[in-house]
Amino acid sequence: MVEHAQYLAYLAGEWQASQSQETITIQSPWQSEPVGDIQAVTQDEIDTSIAAAQDAQKPWAALSLGERGQYLNQWADNLAANKQALAEIEMAEVGKNLKDAEKEVDRTVDLIRYTVQEALHMHGESVRGDGFPGGSKDKLGIIERVPLGVVLAISPFNYPVNLSASKIAPALMAGNAVICKPATQGAVSGIKLIEALADTGLPKGLLSLITGHGSVIGDYLIEHPGINMISFTGSTQTGQRLSQKSIMIPLVLELGGKDPAIVCADADLDTTVSNIVSGAFSYSGQRCTAVKRVLVDDKIADELVAKLKPAVNALTVGSPDANNTVVPLISDKAADFVQNLIDDALAKGATLVTGNKRQGNLLAPTLLDNVTEDMDVAWIEPFGPVLPIMRVPSTDEAIRIANKSKFGLQASVFAQELDEALKIAGGVEAGTVQVNGRPERGPDNFPFLGVKASGMGTQGVHNSILSMSREKLTVINLKSVKQGG
């Protein structure tokens, strides 16, 4: 049991109680005890934090990459040393099972170290004017990457450690200051993540952690003139609001998904089943990249369903401390939302293959067959353990239904005939198509992006560094270029 403690906010380089004198109690989604109380930070404190970030940014950017990297490597070491405690807090706070929470800390440590190495190895380029008609070789353009200023990092509840660090680390390596706003349910994990960074002796003010409800302080943060770039991961609804309200600054948005698994008639069903089941149900489907619908060729649909059913029934269901795969959802509201999708589908004639049992916010993994386009579960992202199966007469029909969704995060194609798999992959509108594998963000050196309502801009370590910096061109007008130069 994690001790219920009062947590301070990290504002302008100091751990402080907010002047608001208001705290928010974080209730565990599965334990009866609260996880802790966090500060409800005020607009004045946001102003002070952003001003401190602006002051600290230029001296930080003046440090060498190696000097900046030392702080980050120390951060990674601190996290590795505190792995157990951090994983236990995350498990208590967002209900991720202990093994997966530990993996998230390991992945974060690797990501931070990799980000340092990546930044050390990135470089600019140069260009001569004579590449353009009439241009002169005497013009030498030096293209460097420079920081943007103050980056606002907003993260969701489901990866409170990794999806905060995967914004903070590239922002800092690119020479920016950071304002981090974690999800409220996830803020205690975020505080522990930042403690490990603050303990490196990071320059005062370079980073602040603003806690408080997004509905209260979110708009103030995103409209703040001191913010120069926003990296956001969360729901499409919040992402769209953010893109409407932010003013002429670069945005990277990683949003919701409805990732289809397209199963062709020649698919290797064992590979397909294990990928679909882990893809759909790990962490109870609370992953943006979860498999959220299956589009299966009629010819093998019965066989696929017959194999999926026992695999789903074999999933372990219960509390996260016993390392169950299917765990209580983040809130009762989230469970009601999923239940409504199941009820709607069953009322409209879907076949219940297994599941549809509930104890509070713990839902049994649920498999629905014969789902049709009039059912909400065909289109809406549940962020919970329900998987709809839609039977299709052809791959063209699978592609049509895949693309009818407003989302376009990832998709999977299961087929043994590679030419056919690639043809389908080419036709599906998604940031990434996985052939014979489940959708997933990692490994973190891969680009990660969504199209349509799933986002804009690209993450992944290299692309995050690019998105948090810009090109700066210095043109040297030479007197004359030496012969052969």
Ligand X SMILES: NC(=O)C1=CN([C@@H]2O[C@H](COP(=O)(O)OP(=O)(O)OC[C@H]3O[C@@H](n4cnc5c(N)ncnc54)[C@H](OP(=O)(O)O)[C@@H]3O)[C@@H](O)[C@H]2O)C=CC1
Residues in touch with ligand 3PG (CB under 6 A) = 158-159, 163, 287-289, 440-442
Chain-centroid distance, C-alpha 253: 9
Q: How many residues does the chain have?
A: 485
Q: Which does 93 bind (CB under 5 to 8 A by kind): ligand 3PG, ligand X, none?
A: none
Closer to ligand 3PG at the Cβ: 278 or 319? 278
Closest approach of ligand X to the CB of residue 251, in Å: 12
Closer to ligand 3PG at the Cβ: 15 or 446? 446
Using CB atoms within 10 Å of the CB of residue 477, give its burial: 0 to 12 exposed, 13 to 18 middle, 19+ buried. exposed
37 binds ligand X, rule: CB under 6 A = no
Q: Which does 257 bind (CB under 5 to 8 A by kind): ligand X, ligand 3PG, none?
A: ligand X
Site string for ligand X, 259-288 (x = CB under 6 A): -----------------------------x
22 binds ligand X, rule: CB under 6 A = no
* CA atoms of 451 and 433, how far apart (whole Å): 12
Instruction: Using the rule CB under 6 A, give the single segment among 155-163, 275-283, 305-313, 353-361 that binds ligand X.
Output: 155-163
- The answer for residues whose C-beta is within 8 angstroms of residue 70's C-beta and 6 or more apart is none
233 binds ligand X, rule: CB under 6 A = yes
Region at 436 (left for phi over 0; alpha for psi -120 to 50; beta for the rest): left
Where do we find the tokens 């089941």?
277
461 binds ligand X, rule: CB under 6 A = no
Binder to ligand X among 86, 105, 183, 191 (CB under 6 A)?
Answer: 183
Question: 226 and 50 in contact (C-beta within 8 Å)?
Answer: yes
Please state, in angstroms and as integers, the Cα–Cα distance from residue 232 to each residue in 179, 222, 392, following that order. 12, 10, 35
214 binds ligand X, rule: CB under 6 A = yes
- Residue 373 annotated as catalytic: no
Closest approach of ligand 3PG to the CB of residue 58, in Å: 32
The DSSP secondary-structure symbol of 273 reads H
Q: Which of 102, 254, 381, 440 is catalytic?
A: 254
Question: 181 and 210 in contact (C-beta within 8 Å)?
Answer: yes
- The answer for residues whose C-beta is within 8 angstroms of residue 244's C-beta and 6 or more apart is none
107 binds ligand X, rule: CB under 6 A = no
Region at 427 (left for phi over 0; alpha for psi -120 to 50; beta for the rest): alpha
- Alpha-helical segments (H) within 226-288: 236-245, 269-281
Closer to ligand X at the Cβ: 213 or 299? 213
Instruction: Using the rule CB under 6 A, give the single segment among 141-149, 254-262, 315-323, 338-346 that binds ligand X.
Output: 254-262
Closer to ligand X at the Cβ: 291 or 300? 291
- Give the residue numbers marked as catalytic: 254
